[in-house]
Amino acid sequence: MKDLAKKTPVQSWYTGKTIFVTGGSGFMGKVLLEKLLYSCSDLERIYVLMRPKRGKSPQTRIEDWLKLPVFKRIREEKPDVYKKLVPIPGDVTSDKLGISPEHERLLIETTQIVFHCAATLKLEARLKDAIEMNTIGTKRILDLCLQMKHLTALLHLSTAFCYCDKEVLTEKVHDFHHNPYDLMRTVEWMDEKALDTITPNLLTPHPNTYTYSKRLAEMLVRDTYSNLRACIVRPSIVCPANAEPVEGWVDSLNGPVGIMVAGGKGIIRSMLCNGEYNAEVIPVDIAINGLITIAYTLGQMEEMPKEIPVYNITCRETKRTTWKEVLDLGKATAYEYPFEAGVWYPDGDITMNKTYHTICVMLFHWLPAYFIDFLMFCFGQKRFMCRIQNMVSEGLSLLQFFTTRQWDFKSHQYQAIAKHLTPEDNVIFTMDVDAINTKDYLRRIILGGRQFCMKEPLSTLPKARIQLKFLYVLDKVGKAFMLYLMLWLFLTLTGLKAPVYEMLGWA
């Protein structure tokens, strides 16, 4: 990293700026805060909207963050800049964000940049919860931003998948037959049971409440655009860090990371997925660099465009990787860097044949799960495999909507940003996905999931490789036994056992 005493244009623009961030405790939020503090250290202050959690105050939670791996280089190189991180007690699901009048005045008087990242990412969330957090929460942020006296950039974090009814997903906000204001009023007065009943009809054509509520939120931001310097940012599937702040850093098993970990431990053996379709994933550090430079770009605009700027943070058309390529490279990497204590040899596959998938799930997901739980019961241990398989099944059913469709994202406005940055800024805030080696990145994902989610240190790799060899032998022996059993059963039921045995000389 170059000496920041000589600042680049992006760093100079952030100098002395006061920033307000929602969703700072999330995966992207933590990386955003770290990157701002590390690479734009001369900013004035970052206010973070935070709610007390598990009996901890917002200040205590902020202090606990510094101990996380994501803030390692801050601890080691720039510990003083962490003091610029200031919690604002509140919650986007509360009226007026639940912040005190004093804090409200502080934000109105001093804030210049807002990153609105707070959202519930649960695809299976109830409609009331998703609307309350993602849509009404956005409305509350907009109401506060409209009062800010020095606001130069508001970035609303959305999702690239919020227009799943469109064949081509361009960088614009499309109209929708549902009015977000009507939906917000509906969830306030309607009984939750009644709301759950009509949810399936309301969601069509959306697969879940997440994409639906985010689409409604985009309409709110668009409607307020004439009075705010705002834009909408849509990342695709955000995955572990490629290079910074720590290679492979991730803090949850959501999305592809969970699938890779479950597959690496032999829990997932089959998945509905079209291997020829593109895997629309983006490293979190690339996405965060995009957010930071988009805010800079917005702040540099002398005249705002007629329509609200929208940026799709997605893979370039020159850097397309299919799900099959991800699977093949991922399996090879998982064999080289195996997880500890796998339940079976990791040798799953993807298919678009629902019948074949169902058979595989019954034989290789549920049958082993019941068998392992039976053994646990016999030995007086706590049963867990059926519960895990139930969670896996629910997760796969939610994800298959995204893995069985071809997505055509256009990101011309987003890709154009790098062209207007200096070479130095393009190094510090790189958005170049083309430069990433897919195999190396998959290794970082697997090692990241291993270390940061499963808490399996690299020192255990030799033992894990021995376990993998044992599971390989067990897998082959088990399959051979099952094949023999099925063949014996077939010959017995068809009456062919005696003549076949006689022909083979086994009689």
158-199, pLDDT tens digit by residue? 999 989 888 889 999 998 889 999 999 998 898 888 988 999
- Give percent of the chain above pLDDT 90: 56
Structure token pair of residue 45:
């202050």
Q: Could you tell me what percent of the chain has a pLDDT over 70?
A: 99
To the nearest whole number, what is the mean pLDDT of the chain?
A: 90
The mean pLDDT of 410-438, rounded to a whole number, is 93
When pLDDT is cut at 50, 70 and 90, the band that residue 2 belongs to is very low
| Sign of CA pseudo-dihedral 430, 210, 404, 165 | negative
Express each pLDDT in 22-48 by its tens digit. 999 999 999 999 999 999 999 999 999
The predicted pLDDT at position 4 comes to 45
Strand (E) positions, 29-180?
Answer: 45-50, 85-89, 113-116, 153-157
Report the top-level CATH class of 10-248+280-319+407-440. Answer: alpha beta
Q: Is the pLDDT of residue 111 over 70?
A: yes
- Both tokens assigned to 374: 């039976």
Measured CA to CA, the distance from residue 387 to residue 383 in angstroms comes to 8
What's the rounded Cα separation, in Å, for the pair 383 and 496? Answer: 41
What single-letter amino acid sits at 360? Answer: C
Alpha helices in 254-340 (DSSP H): 256-264, 284-300, 323-336
Whole-number pLDDT of residue 221? 97
Distance CA 432, CA 83 (A): 31
Q: How many of the other CB atoms lie within 10 Å of CB of 359? A: 12
Q: Which residue, among 441, 459, 442, has the nearest Cα to 451 in the 3D structure? A: 459
pLDDT value, residue 3: 46
Provide φ and ψ at 338, rounded to 5°: -70, 160
pLDDT at 153: 97
353 contacts: CB under 8 Å, gap ≥ 6: none
DSSP, collapsed to helix, strand or coil, labels residue 378 as: helix
pLDDT attached to residue 192 = 86
**223 pLDDT more than 90:** yes
Per-residue pLDDT tens digits for 70-79? 999 999 999 9
- The whole-number pLDDT of residue 507 equals 61
pLDDT band with cut points at 50, 70 and 90 for residue 108? very high
In 3D, which of 95, 93, 96, 108 has the Cα closest to residue 47? 108
CA distances from 146 to 131, 150, 233 (A): 21, 10, 19
Give the mean pLDDT of 462-485.
Answer: 89
Over its C-alpha atoms, the chain yields an Rg (Å, rounded) of 26
**CA-to-CA distance for 30 and 201, rounded, in angstroms?**
36
Question: What are the residues facing 233 on neighbouring strands?
Answer: 157, 311
Q: Looking at residue 81, what is its pLDDT?
A: 94
Most confident range (mean pLDDT) of 213-227, 364-378, 465-479 is: 213-227
Q: 409: which strand partners?
A: 169
Please tell me the distance from the alpha carbon of residue 97 to that of residue 203, in angstroms, as a whole number: 27
Residue 364 has pLDDT above 90, yes or no: no
pLDDT of 1 > 50? The answer is no
Cα distance between residue 76 and residue 107, in whole Å: 30
pLDDT value of position 32: 97
Cβ(369)–Cβ(388) below 8 Å: yes
Q: Residue 60's pLDDT is what?
A: 86
272: helix, coil or strand?
strand
**Total number of residues shown for the chain:** 507
Please list, in sequence order, all residues whose beta carbon lies within 8 angstroms of the beta carbon of residue 332, skipping any fewer than 6 positions away: none
Q: Is 58 left (phi over 0), alpha (psi -120 to 50) or beta?
A: alpha
> pTM of the predicted model, to two decimals?
0.92
Residue 481's CB: how many other CB atoms inside 10 A? 10
